[in-house]
A = this chain, B = another copy of it.
Amino acid sequence: MSISELFGIELPIIQAPMAGSQGSALAIAVCNAGGLGSQPCAMLGPDQIRAELKAITAATSKPYNVNFFVHQPPEPDPVREKAWRKVLAPYFAEYGIDPESIQAGPQRMPFNDAAADVLEEFKPPVVSFHFGLPSDALMKRVKGWGSKILSSATTVDEARYLEAHGVDAVIAQGSEAGGHRGMFLSEDLHTQVGTFALVQQIVHAVKVPVIAAGGISDARGVKAAMALGAAGVQPGTVYLCCPEATTNPIHRAALKSDAAANTAITNLFTGRPARGIVNRLMRDLTPINFAAPQFPLAATAIFALRQKAEAKGANDFTSMWAGQNASACREMPAAELTRALAS
């Protein structure tokens, strides 16, 4: 089954949810163009979620997707945090930051009953999860009001797990993809799989439709993904330069520069591996550094540095999430881009 049939949309395009770089405006534009627009909620509280969903349902009658993280929040670990801040000490000194003064930055919250309460008001057509699936009780609530459910797999084992736990389609997130790796059954980055191989493997392994993600940035990529057996695609990075995206100017400038040619998977910014444009912090500490606190706690100390650096126009501490076709990011309205992808 194609995802057009599954979700009742015209084009087999899901705009990937990108927490921190977009809100309802991008989702609405994609929905109205015939794709499935996505509202990322990982960094929003219940009131903000409600406001965004009100905006979407006021502006479109088309199906839309709401995305949540479903990580297990870690216990704070003062020893690890202290060690991490020691690694960062030279940067704190450079920017005159007193490490004792650092306030928590933007938080990533897992899907919970408070968020589900808001969803229940809207009964969104599609809900997607990242890092696995929520508790059985929460899954039951979401399915209860009829939302279709998606989640990302980075391996065949994860795809089989998701199918066995009731998703309506699996997103095959190849290693080219920007942002957080959805990996949840393994922490082994060495065995993460490229889009080309992963889509084929997951298509063989599960019966539900498979949505390809990672490195898809034009109509050619969409056709190739479908040739590999995908029922639809979920491009993200290519939308980051749209006027409707809220991509910060530092990130936007990097996407349009030669720097976009080099991305790497890093755990420095949040504590979980995510692909972004290589910058000073990643070069200095190597992209994967085991001193970084557990997700999402690593973000706090980095955020303090990021604010200071960005004020000076530097992207040294900015998480500039992007996939391996980051240079393909297009400065055009999201509706036009969505139609171009499906052409």
Residues of A that sit less than 8 Å from B by CB: 156, 174-176, 188, 190-191, 193-198, 200-201, 214-218, 220-221, 223-225, 227-229, 261-265, 278, 286-288, 323-325, 327-328
In the complex, which of the residues B190, B193, B195, B323 contacts A287, with contact meaning CB atoms closer than 8 Å?
B190
Nearest CB of chain B from residue A42's CB, rounded to whole Å: 25
Across-interface contacts of A287 in B (CB, < 8 A): 190
Answer whether A194 and B220 are a contact pair too, CB < 8 Å, given A200-B215, A325-B200: no
* Given A190-B287, A197-B215, A220-B229, 9 extra CB contacts under 8 A: A174-B194, A176-B193, A188-B264, A190-B278, A197-B323, A197-B324, A201-B327, A220-B227, A224-B225
Ordered by A's residue number, 17 sampled pairs between the chains whose C-beta atoms are within 8 Å are: A174-B196, A176-B196, A188-B264, A190-B265, A190-B278, A190-B287, A193-B324, A194-B215, A194-B324, A195-B196, A196-B214, A196-B215, A196-B224, A197-B215, A200-B328, A221-B228, A224-B225
CB pair B220 A325 closer than 8 Å = no
Across-interface contacts of A217 in B (CB, < 8 A): 200
In the complex, which of the residues B220, B227, B229 contacts A200, with contact meaning CB atoms closer than 8 Å?
B220
